[in-house]
């Protein structure tokens, strides 16, 4: 499904879902522009950050993979949208090969693993915390072993480069991209925590000279002023809004809970909540 979509469209828009209800909202969301063209999300990002945050756990691989897969399984039972799983570092290579089988069973379309090692910290910390990169040969081996463990051809394994996050620079990112593609990665995600897209666009320009067609992915969290169309023109095939459903929901919850205490009733926040009827209608087979 994801492979087919990548062939049909120049670039896809993915957004994070941290539970089945947020996935249902994504599935039902559409926007028709002034030219009558309707826009929908192409797929769902299962984020380590938001899955962990929902459980009150730091984004450092504490949340076990089975809980992550169970969440995706529940999401998958409600929507046929493609799911890309953020599987952090993929764990130890001996474990990753088993995870790949489980991912296939759950019907995940793609998994992204990042080339970090040690205590994995969220990338948006940038160089404010210690971010250690994996040895290139070892990480390439993890990709190769993961690809070899697949029983069906559908699952794509994308390699995520953390060179720009950890301050290792562009040369390092390009060297790693080459090694990971050679090892069998089905695509590359380049991550950045700058507030402009300049470095990911620079990366894309160099990468595209060698790999004109290979899927290239970015996550414009910190360079949020950049339009999807500009990233698409710069060569990105999948653009991921990695945490916005969670951030939106919890901002609303903070506000509503505060206002109920403030007013001593809930009438003032009715306008800020979806109706019970809408909740009921969102859930399939309720009637
Ligand atoms: C996530 O959503 O968990 C990611 C993207 O890995 S980031 O938070 O930017 O590292
Ligand atoms: Mg993550």
Pocket test for ligand 1, best of 113, 191, 238 (most atoms within 8 A of CB): 191
Mean pLDDT of all residues in 113-119: 94
Q: What is the mean pLDDT of the chain?
A: 96
Three-state secondary structure call for residue 226: coil
Q: Residue 232: is its pLDDT beyond 90?
A: yes
Distance CA(180)–CA(188), nearest Å, equals 8
- Per-residue confidence (pLDDT) for residue 252, from 0 to 100: 97
Tens digit of pLDDT for each residue in 65-86?
A: 999 999 999 999 999 999 999 9
Asked whether the beta carbons of 89 and 134 are under 8 A apart, the reply is: yes
Q: What is the whole-number distance in angstroms between the Cα of residue 285 and the centre of ligand 1?
A: 33
Beta strands in the chain (DSSP E): 12-16, 30-32, 38-40, 43-46, 83-86, 110-114, 116-117, 132-133, 156-161, 187-190, 216-218, 238-241
100 lines ligand 1 (CB under 6 A): no
Distance CA(35)–CA(99), nearest Å, equals 44
Q: Is 59 a catalytic residue?
A: yes
The residues, any chain, with a CB within 8 Å of residue 200's CB and separated by 6 or more, are 164, 190, 192, 218, 223, 231, 234, 236
- Per-residue confidence (pLDDT) for residue 261, from 0 to 100: 98
- Per-residue confidence (pLDDT) for residue 178, from 0 to 100: 98
Residue with tokens 């009438």: 267
C-alpha neighbours within 13 Å on the C-beta side of residue 179: 19
The residues, any chain, with a CB within 8 Å of residue 61's CB and separated by 6 or more, are 48, 88, 89, 91, 120
Encoded tokens for 161: 């480069």
Query: What atom in ligand 1 is closest to the CA of residue 59?
Result: 3
Q: What is the whole-number distance in angstroms between the Cα of residue 242 and the centre of ligand 1?
A: 6
Q: Which of 42, 59, 109, 115 is catalytic?
A: 59
Instruction: Compute the radius of gyration of the chain from its Cα atoms.
Output: 19
C-alpha neighbours within 13 Å on the C-beta side of residue 231: 27
Q: Residue 205: is its pLDDT beyond 80?
A: yes
DSSP for residue 135: P
Give the number of whichever ligand sits closest to the CA of residue 60: 2
Q: What is the whole-number distance in angstroms between the Cα of residue 49 and the centre of ligand 2?
A: 5
Asked whether the beta carbons of 83 and 109 are under 8 A apart, the reply is: yes
Tens digit of pLDDT for each residue in 206-217?
A: 999 999 999 999
Encoded tokens for 114: 């990042």
What are 14's strand-pairing partners? 43, 240
The residue extents of the domains of the chain are 1-242, 244-286
Q: Does domain 1-242 have CATH number 3.30.470.20?
A: no
- Per-residue confidence (pLDDT) for residue 285, from 0 to 100: 83
Encoded tokens for 241: 């809004």
Q: Closest by alpha carbon to 131, among 163, 158, 159? A: 163
Distance CA(256)–CA(98), nearest Å, equals 43
- Per-residue confidence (pLDDT) for residue 129, from 0 to 100: 86
Q: Any idea which of 9-13, 256-260, 282-286 has the lowest mean pLDDT? A: 282-286
- Per-residue confidence (pLDDT) for residue 286, from 0 to 100: 79
C-alpha neighbours within 13 Å on the C-beta side of residue 87: 32
Q: Closest by alpha carbon to 164, among 129, 192, 189? A: 192
192 lines ligand 1 (CB under 6 A): no
79 lines ligand 1 (CB under 6 A): no
Atom 7, ligand 1: residue with shortest CA distance: 123
204 lines ligand 1 (CB under 6 A): no
Q: Residue 287: is its pLDDT beyond 80?
A: no
Q: Residue 284: is its pLDDT beyond 90?
A: no
Distance CA(229)–CA(115), nearest Å, equals 28
Tell me the pLDDT band of 200, cut-offs 50, 70 and 90. Answer: very high
Tens digit of pLDDT for each residue in 118-163?
A: 888 888 988 888 889 999 999 999 999 999 999 988 999 999 999 9
């Amino acid at each position: 499904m994801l492979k087919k979509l990548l062939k049909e469209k120049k670039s896809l828009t993915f957004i994070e879902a941290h539970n089945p209800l947020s996935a249902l909202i994504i599935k039902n969301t559409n926007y028709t522009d002034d030219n009558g063209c309707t826009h929908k999300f192409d797929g769902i990002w299962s984020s380590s950050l938001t899955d962990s945050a929902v459980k009150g756990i730091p984004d450092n691989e504490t949340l076990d993979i089975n809980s992550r897969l169970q969440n995706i399984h529940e999401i998958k039972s409600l929507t046929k949208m493609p799911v890309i799983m953020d599987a952090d570092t993929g764990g130890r290579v001996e474990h990753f090969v088993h995870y790949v089988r489980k991912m296939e069973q759950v019907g995940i379309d793609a998994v992204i693993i990042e080339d970090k090692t040690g205590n994995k910290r969220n990338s948006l910390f940038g160089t404010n915390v210690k971010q250690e990169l994996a040895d290139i040969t070892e990480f390439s081996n993890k990709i190769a072993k993961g690809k070899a463990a697949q029983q069906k051809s559908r699952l794509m394994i994308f390699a995520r480069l953390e060179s720009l996050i950890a301050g290792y620079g562009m040369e390092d990112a390009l060297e790693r991209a080459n090694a990971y593609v050679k090892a069998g990665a089905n695509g590359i995600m380049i991550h950045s925590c700058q507030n402009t897209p300049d470095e990911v666009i620079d990366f894309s320009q160099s990468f595209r000279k060698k790999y004109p067609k290979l899927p290239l992915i970015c996550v414009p969290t910190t360079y949020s002023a950049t339009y999807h169309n500009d990233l698409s023109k710069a060569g990105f095939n999948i653009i991921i809004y990695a945490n916005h459903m969670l951030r939106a929901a919890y901002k609303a919850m903070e506000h509503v809970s505060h206002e109920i205490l403030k007013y001593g009733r809930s009438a003032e926040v009715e306008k800020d909540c979806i109706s019970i009827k809408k909740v009921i209608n969102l859930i399939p087979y309720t009637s």
